[in-house]
Amino acid sequence: MPKLPSVSEKDVIKVFEKFGYKIVRQKGSHIRMQHIKDNSKKPLTIPNHQLLAKGLLRKLLRDAELTIEAFTRLMK
């Protein structure tokens, strides 16, 4: 199983925007993203932290139905 990279919320948002998500709102330190075309995909809530925990990143990837390999490829 590939390792999860250490990423900030800004990097995660950029990757999810490439994957078809957009920011729909922000309340406090949490950013809410929704997939543009596929409403069956779960909305994502990303905390505004400098470094996201690995477990949270894994859950976000699972909710977005995105593999770790695809995530790291989109980061480049």
**Angle between helix 68-75 and 9-18 (nearest 10):** 100
Q: What are the residue ranges spanned by the domains of the chain?
A: 9-75
Q: How confident is the model at residue 1, as a pLDDT?
A: 67
pLDDT in tens, 14-71: 999 999 999 999 999 999 999 999 888 899 999 998 999 999 999 999 999 999 999 9
Query: 45, 48, 49: which is closest to 64 by C-alpha?
Result: 45
Instruction: Report the CATH superfamily, name and number, of domain 9-75.
Output: Hypothetical protein. (3.30.920.30)
